[in-house]
Structure formats: C-alpha cells, structure tokens
Chains A and B, each alone.
Chain A
Amino acid sequence: MSNNIVEAKNLKVYFKIRQGLIKDIFSKKERYVKAVDGIDLGIKKGEIVSLVGESGSGKTTTGRAILNLVHHEGLLKFDDEIYDLKNRKWLSSFRKRAQMIFQDPYQSLNPKYMIIDAVSEPLRMIEKNLSESEIKERTIQALEFAGLKPGEDYLYRYPHELSGGQRQRVAIATVFVVSPNFIVADEPVSMLDASIRADIVNLMYEMKEQKGTSYLFITHDLSLAWLISDRIAIMYLGKIVEIGPSEIISGNCRHPYTQALVSVLANVDVDNKRQKIVLKGETPSPTNIPTGCRFHPRCPIAKDKCTKEEPQLTEIEKNQFVACHYPEVILRFVDEKK
C-alpha cells in the first residue's frame, strides 16, 4: 500500500510513422516516434510534481498518457488500482478523479458554448442524476472558486467575450467543478500575461491546500517549477534524466543536462555572475534516438561508455535519482569576476 496517487512503470508512448501505402505494406521495419520511452514516475497524494523539458521532450504526451488520452504501453496505477480500461465503471470514476488543464485558453473552450454549458458539461457527464438547480449552484461555486466573482455574471457569456486570463479561469473552473484528486496541468500559464500567471498558480496552489489535490505540472519554465512544486522531474527526449526534490534540483543537480538548464536561468543577483553552460547542437529527433545515453552527442562530459550503455535512473542521494554514468562530475560554473 503506497501513498502514491499515480504510479507509472515503464510508460511508453510510440507513434507509428506512416511511410506511404506501399512502404507500410511491404516494409518489415516499422518506424516509430518514441515520444515517451519508458518512464517511471510516482506522484504522492497532495504533491505537486513538475515535469520540465524542452519542447518535443514528451512531457505533454506523458500527461496525456496518464489521463488515458493516447494509446500507451506499460503499467499505470491510479490510487493503487491498475488502469482497467475496459471497465466502464472504473473509467467513469477515474475521470471524476483525474482531470486536465490545457495550455491554450483560447482553444480549450468551445466557442459555441456559453460558460454555464462549458463548466457544467463535466458535471452532467460524470455525475449523473444531478438536478438543474444543483448543477447551476455548483457551476457558480466553481466559477467563484476560480476567481470569477460574482459567478452569476459569467454564466450566460460566450468565451469570446472574456479575456485570456478569464478564459483560463473558466477552464480551471471546468476542472474544479468535479473536485478531482489529481490534475494534469499542461503549461497552464505559458499563454498568459505575467500579471495573471501568479494568480492562476496561486489558485491551483489553493486547491491543493484545501482539497489535497495532486498535480502533474507540465512546464518548460524551470524557475516556475522550482517555485511551486515539491519535486521536479527533468525530461530529455522521452526519458526522465533526473528527478528529485525541487531545492536539490536547483541547488545540487547532477545530470549534465539539468546543470546546463539551471546555469542559464536568469539570475537576479548581478554580482554573482555565473558562466552559462551552452549545449552544442540540437535535440536529436525522437524517431532516431542515439545509442547509449541519449544525451551523449550534446554532453560536455561524454565518454566512451556513454555511447554504448544507457544509464538507468539511480538514487545517488536521498530521493534524488539521476540517469547518468558520471553523476559525480560537477560542471564548473566559472565565476567571471574571479
């Protein structure tokens, strides 16, 4: 009996590449985009775990796989129950408990739906047998919780009448209305103004504090992840390369990729200039993943072993896991002032 709300073991999401009709039929070799290539991840109850990585590293796909929105392989557990995809009853209870907040508030609301319809849709879908007045009441509650007060005023409006921040609040209300235990937040603030970001993040934090909701917070912004999450997982090319408590990831990270990411964070302290570690080259295509450690072509400390053997996630300090053959090497942040 673990206290994990979500557990993924060797989670894989491969997308088949269509190579044209003739090749599809005759070629024996099938090619895949390995968007997520074997991830182990556990999220505790009431915990916020951030998934950080550059675009194309598979972080959104991981979130979608956990919510069963894409076809996936590997073992997934929710609340210690193995995903029972053929069981309608389980699916519907799963959907009540796990929800997703999408990135783009301009796209995640149906333009033809009034706010009351959009927010109450999950209620009608998931909790059947609610009376209309109950639905309306809970819709207003959710809107007000999401910071749209008074909720009554927003019920009969269309999304195009609202600003980006208001729309994201509506989108969040559509999730909060069923009070899920677990939320995948897919870059929920990356499309918003800086002034609204803090509000939205606080809102999600409040939900966690009040109801013990767990989050998988997907972002490419390491500083934001550091601010809000309990643990951070760094993804590179479909794999988690380092995972650990946020303060360790920012202060004592060991994977060269994480070190490079941390080194380029904006630093407020003007006197303390650090040298940035600039990685050479670009992320390889997920159709053609390098042998051995998938980071080795860009890694400043890559050695012969890295091109042959793929490193596994190993615990090097308490709760800190790194997938690197040489986690003891600390890249130098050379002090420019000397």
Chain B
Amino acid sequence: MSNLNKIRREKYEVRKRNFKQFIKTFFNNKIGTLGFIMLMFFVVVAYVGPNFYHYSPVEVSKGALLAPPTEGFIFGTDHLGRDIFGAIIYGTKTSLIVGFSGALISIFIGSTIGLSAGFVGGGLDNVLMRITDGMMVLPKLALIMVVSAVLGTNIRNIILVIGLTGWTGTARLVRAQALSLRERPYIERARSIGASKFYIVYKHILPNVFPVIFAQTILATSSAILSETSLSFLGLGDPLSVSWGQVLNGAFVNGAVSVGAWWYFVPAGAAIVLMVLSFTFIGYSFDEILNPKLRGR
C-alpha cells in the first residue's frame, strides 16, 4: 500500500516539475505574460469590482442625461443618465462567463467529433466531416441570430448557441491530429497488446492532442466573446443582463455616435478589444510553446 503511494508521489513529483517548466517557458514569453496579466486584470475586475462599486441598470439614476465624464461618473452617463463605468465593470463578468462556457461547449463537441472521425475513420469520418463542412459554409453570425431569435434571448441560450455553432474549426483540427497520430507505431503497439479502441483514444491519442485542444480553447474563448458582443449589439442579447454589447447597442440605437458622445461607446469598445487581445496573446504564446518551429527567430 505504501509502495503504491510512493509510485503515485514520484509520478506526481515528475509531473509537477514538468508543469513548473512549462509555466516558466510561458512566462519567459513576453506576449504571453502580457496577455495573462491583462486577463487577470479583467478577472479581478469582474469578480472583485462589483463588491466595491455599486451599479444597477434598472435603478433610477441621479446623473444628467448623456453627460460627459465628470467626477461622479468617470466614464460619463448614458441616455438614461446611468453610469457607464458601472456597466463596463458589471459587463466584464458576462463576457468572461459567455466566453469560457461557449468555448468549453464548442471545444467539447469539436474534439469529440474530431477524435471519432479521425480515429475511427471510414464511413463515420465521411459522415461527420460532411456535417462539419455543412456547418462551416453556413454564415455563422446569421445562424446564431436565427437560432437565438427562435430560442429566446437569455444568457443560457446565447452560450448554448455560441457553443453549438463554433465547434467546426476545432473538429477539423483535432481530426487532422488524430489522423496523424493514428498511424504512429505506439498506437500499433497498444493494439498488439490488445488495447480497445476506447482505451487507445483515451489513453494514447487524447493526451497527445490535448495541447492543441488547450490552445484552441483559448482562441475559441475570444471568438465566443466577440459573438456575444455582436449579438447584443444587434439587439439580440439578453436584455436583463449587463454586457459590453448591450452598452454598444444602447449607444448605437440612441444616436450617441452622431451627437459625438464618445464616452458612451469608446470604453466598451476598448474593453472588448483588450479582452479579446489578451486571449489572442495567450493563445499565440501557447502556440509558440507547443510548436517549437515558431519559436525564437
């Protein structure tokens, strides 16, 4: 019994060492570190900010209508006199939740389909890939709009719709990886000792595809955030939740652009760009670590 624990502990030590090594490599990468710091900033704002700053979109506001930044309202007010700074802070959480959940759903579907198509091959591969192609040629935003209009607009549906439409790229990528891994001799070795298909996929192929899936998750998160923003901007977002897309929608609908109320849309736009950028930076640096050919030139 103690022996078993010893083996586990020794394995754990080696894994810990390797993980530390990976973290070190990651933080040696300037772009990755910058992206990570930006993301952490957003996470802190989303989860700590609301404790210190009170804001409610449905409360009667004390501010002037569409007023530029002043001491009380550092990002100014909107057309109903509501605080824009508060909306930005409260909207951060929405973006993060939609981004991560949407990405997780799409990655889960994408990798399941990719793995089964790539490893099992044959007819199943054909069927799954034709479905993927079909999904790919559909204009994604239009599809998201139609489905969310039908399902009704609330945050849960938006996450679902984003997840159900965004998996195609992942499926293709994972399939390609699985196809190349399938022919490796160690897979054949596993077959020669009688491993089942499920065992091979789970124990041999998945660990080798995982880095790719991980990097893809990060990139999918930023695309999910953008999808949510587009939906909200077009007025198909959840009207009961605060999000950056909602702010942009309000600015657009109420003519903030034409009256020159820049404080209405610039902060929300900048926040979206920065958050997407932070994910792109992290994803980019993961790509560089996992794909040494891109490194150091």
Spell out A's residues near B (CB within 8 Å).
Answer: 64, 67, 69, 91-92, 95, 99-100, 102-104, 107-112, 114, 116, 121-122, 125-126, 131-133, 136, 155-158, 174
Tell me the bound Cα distance from A126 to B191 in angstroms: 12
Beta-carbon contact of A107 and B186 below 8 Å: yes
B14 beta carbon closer than 8 Å to chain A: yes
B62 beta carbon closer than 8 Å to chain A: no
B166 → A minimal CB distance (Å): 27
Q: B207 — nearest CB in chain A belongs to which residue?
A: A112
**Residue of A103, A107, A111 most packed against chain B (CB within 10 A):** A107
Beta-carbon contact of A132 and B4 below 8 Å: yes
Spell out B's residues near A (CB within 8 Å).
Answer: 3-4, 7, 10-11, 13-14, 18, 184-186, 188-195, 204, 207-208
B6 → A minimal CB distance (Å): 9
**Residue of A92, A122, A174 most packed against chain B (CB within 10 A):** A122
**CB within 8 Å for A112 and B184 given contacts A69-B191, A132-B7:** no
Tell me the bound Cα distance from A156 to B189 in angstroms: 21
Q: B5 — nearest CB in chain A belongs to which residue?
A: A132
Beta-carbon contact of A67 and B3 below 8 Å: no
Beta-carbon contact of A102 and B188 below 8 Å: yes
Beta-carbon contact of B189 and A100 below 8 Å: yes
A243 → B minimal CB distance (Å): 25
**CB within 8 Å for A99 and B192 given contacts A107-B184, A110-B204, A155-B10:** yes
Beta-carbon contact of B194 and A126 below 8 Å: yes
| Residues of B close to A64: CB separation below 8 A | 188
| Residues of A close to B10: CB separation below 8 A | 155-156
Beta-carbon contact of A132 and B204 below 8 Å: no
Tell me the bound Cα distance from A148 to B16 in angstroms: 25
| Residues of A close to B186: CB separation below 8 A | 107-110
Q: A178 — nearest CB in chain B belongs to which residue?
A: B193
A179 → B minimal CB distance (Å): 13
| Residues of A close to B13: CB separation below 8 A | 156
Q: A118 — nearest CB in chain B belongs to which residue?
A: B186
Beta-carbon contact of A69 and B193 below 8 Å: no
Q: A186 — nearest CB in chain B belongs to which residue?
A: B185
Beta-carbon contact of B193 and A133 below 8 Å: no
| Residues of B close to A107: CB separation below 8 A | 184-186
User: What would 7 A/B residue contacts be, using CB atoms closer than 8 Å?
Assistant: A92-B194, A100-B188, A102-B188, A108-B186, A116-B11, A126-B194, A132-B3
**CB within 8 Å for A91 and B194 given contacts A108-B186, A136-B7, A156-B11:** yes
B16 → A minimal CB distance (Å): 11
Beta-carbon contact of B208 and A110 below 8 Å: yes
Beta-carbon contact of B7 and A116 below 8 Å: yes
Tell me the bound Cα distance from A223 to B177 in angstroms: 39
Q: Which of B14, B193, B204 contacts A114 (CB 8 A)?
A: B14
B129 → A minimal CB distance (Å): 14
| Residues of A close to B191: CB separation below 8 A | 69
| Residues of A close to B194: CB separation below 8 A | 91-92, 95, 125-126
| Residues of A close to B195: CB separation below 8 A | 125
**Residue of B14, B18, B185 most packed against chain A (CB within 10 A):** B185
| Residues of A close to B190: CB separation below 8 A | 121
Beta-carbon contact of A133 and B192 below 8 Å: no
Beta-carbon contact of A104 and B208 below 8 Å: no
- 7 more contacts with CB within 8 A, not counting A102-B185, A122-B193, are A69-B191, A69-B192, A108-B185, A109-B186, A116-B11, A132-B3, A157-B14
Beta-carbon contact of A95 and B4 below 8 Å: no
**CB within 8 Å for A126 and B193 given contacts A107-B186, A136-B7:** yes
Tell me the bound Cα distance from A200 to B143 in angstroms: 61
Beta-carbon contact of A121 and B4 below 8 Å: no
Beta-carbon contact of A133 and B207 below 8 Å: no
Q: Which of A103, A104, A125 contacts B193 (CB 8 A)?
A: A125
A200 → B minimal CB distance (Å): 17
Beta-carbon contact of B14 and A156 below 8 Å: yes
Tell me the bound Cα distance from A121 to B193 in angstroms: 9
Beta-carbon contact of A100 and B14 below 8 Å: no
| Residues of B close to A121: CB separation below 8 A | 190, 193
B70 → A minimal CB distance (Å): 58
Beta-carbon contact of A112 and B7 below 8 Å: no
Tell me the bound Cα distance from A131 to B10 in angstroms: 17
Beta-carbon contact of A102 and B208 below 8 Å: no
| Residues of B close to A108: CB separation below 8 A | 185-186, 189
Q: B14 — nearest CB in chain A belongs to which residue?
A: A156
Tell me the bound Cα distance from A133 to B7 in angstroms: 9
| Residues of B close to A158: CB separation below 8 A | 18
Q: B184 — nearest CB in chain A belongs to which residue?
A: A107
Tell me the bound Cα distance from A136 to B191 in angstroms: 22
Beta-carbon contact of B3 and A112 below 8 Å: no
| Residues of B close to A110: CB separation below 8 A | 186, 204, 207-208
Q: A92 — nearest CB in chain B belongs to which residue?
A: B194
Tell me the bound Cα distance from A131 to B7 in angstroms: 12
B8 → A minimal CB distance (Å): 9
Beta-carbon contact of A133 and B185 below 8 Å: no
| Residues of B close to A125: CB separation below 8 A | 193-195
| Residues of A close to B3: CB separation below 8 A | 132-133, 136
